[in-house]
Structure 1
């Protein structure tokens, strides 16, 4: 199976052939995947070199000129380093672009903390009007990329991962999917963490929702899964823990509920190790998830006593 980044390069190269309005802007990273597309469309595949602020600035200029720019590099260099340009050159000017990142929270541990951005979506949440896709499989990445490019002049962030689920799901670029139904709680699994969540909740009486489009947050799907309450909701996200808890609380404002946000911890891991080691350290491996989810959604002490 190809990776999400490989699928991004092949799908976007085809879209360059189909849509004369499309342009790809790179900052050295990812150029190999677009080598052939650059030969076919030298005026619409632009490499600005290792200048991430310029990457976003050029994207904003292309958008203002009527183009649909797709900007790509690692998440830490696409959202964090040029955040002022994302805020001003895109947001303030109301200029649309598609930002496609790779190596988000822990995908390349050997790269060190400079190549990790667990807070990227929390940072984008400080800005208005962003759609955020977090695919969990290369097939979903292809679908969501096409949605993003076709989204008029909207601002869209597509967060690609090295980790992937075994199979793709029929995502639509909008709502959550119900993967499993239960009565003791609702677990929202985001993108590449679905398989781990399904393994962790095997045999537990919980509903599992699958989220690949996290902004806008699908409040209606969460409310439907929760019902009249009271309800326990667990959010399992491959980025900073708690990133979406406010959205879940707002969705359930008139329903008795509790929310637990699981994701990467704020504490920095200085022994970089491997991706599985990072998952265990953050409590996102199946065994850790099962323990944390079962403890949160299981019977309270009072309920056990009454039983």
Structure 2
């Protein structure tokens, strides 16, 4: 996904004179020629995320289309005031693309984790949150939304789906299969595992890559019995508000496969992290079978 994003940025800067790009000491080598040839619109601003956001906001006010690149916790938690006041309050269109989703950087410890990203951004009215599951999906979602005039946050991962690379539309869920016993919500990079578990089950699977705005209509039209399994690579509960709002008159029974809402103090590889916190096919199967009574 990172390679696809940087390639798109290079093309954008070269061919769209109203676009700008800022990074914070990450990804410079991949687009070094663009940084050299377009210094007035393409800049490594250094380790200065909060200042970078304010600069981007100023450019957006002038009618430019800024795109920012960095590491997820620093682009969301370090800059929260700028997101709130510079982007959301002023209704400015800025694209924030971040790597290091959830525990993608396991060897660097808690300072590089950001399982709370969805909750934070969804709590600020007017902000959008996109979580593609593949490089192709990132390009589709970015191209559909980068000029929409809203602050849009793109979470890219180093651990994409491999088997399922379906076409996606900004703001819309994809119905992967239809069934009667439950509805499974698969978010972003969890689609492969969810589909492996669910393909022989009588359940509906909905694939979400836009988490804000959340596609409530598709969920409402594909959840008849109120049984829902949410599989999301972020803190558990990140989508519960929208799920309840989607089905206001339905009694719900919800299971979750997600990161627990706690501080991650243990160490290990990415896979070891997922195993430890239960983001596994085994846990998806266990939670689903419990939900549908098998």
- Measured against the shorter chain, the TM-score band is over 0.9
What are the residue-to-residue correspondences of 1:224-263 with 2, within 5 Å? Answer: 224-226=221-223, 229-263=224-258
How many angstroms apart in 2 are the aligned matches of 1:260 and 1:40? 51
Check conservation: 2:229, 2:287, Cα contact below 8 A: no
- Give the alignment partner of residue 149 of structure 1, picking from 146, 151, 172: 146
Structure 2 spans left out of the alignment, 5+ residues: none
Structure 1 spans left out of the alignment, 5+ residues: 300-307
Check conservation: 2:121, 2:128, Cα contact below 8 A: no
- 1:246-267 Cα distance to aligned partner (Å, 9 max, x none): 1001100012322233311122
- Give the alignment partner of residue 172 of structure 1, picking from 156, 169, 172: 169
Q: Is 1:292 matched up with 2:276?
A: no
Q: Is 1:126 matched up with 2:126?
A: no
Q: CA deviation at 1:28?
A: 1.2
Structure 2 match to 1:276: 271
- Give the alignment partner of residue 199 of structure 1, picking from 196, 211, 214: 196
How many angstroms apart in 2 are the aligned matches of 1:255 and 1:36? 55
SS of residue in 1 equivalent to 2:206: strand
- 1:191-228 Cα distance to aligned partner (Å, 9 max, x none): 110001112224222111111111111111001111xx
- Give the alignment partner of residue 58 of structure 2, picking from 25, 48, 61: 61
Spell out structure 1 runs of 4+ moving beyond 4 A: none
Structure 1 match to 2:178: 181
Check conservation: 1:184, 1:298, Cα contact below 8 A: no
How many angstroms apart in 1 are the aligned matches of 2:112 and 2:155? 14
Check conservation: 2:93, 2:147, Cα contact below 8 A: no
- Give the alignment partner of residue 211 of structure 1, picking from 204, 208, 212: 208
How many angstroms apart in 2 are the aligned matches of 1:257 and 1:267? 25
Structure 2 match to 1:45: 42
Q: CA deviation at 1:274?
A: 1.0
How many angstroms apart in 2 are the aligned matches of 1:70 and 1:298? 47
Aligned-residue RMSD, C-alpha: 1.4
Check conservation: 1:249, 1:259, Cα contact below 8 A: no
How many angstroms apart in 2 are the aligned matches of 1:33 and 1:54? 23
How many angstroms apart in 1 are the aligned matches of 2:145 and 2:276? 33
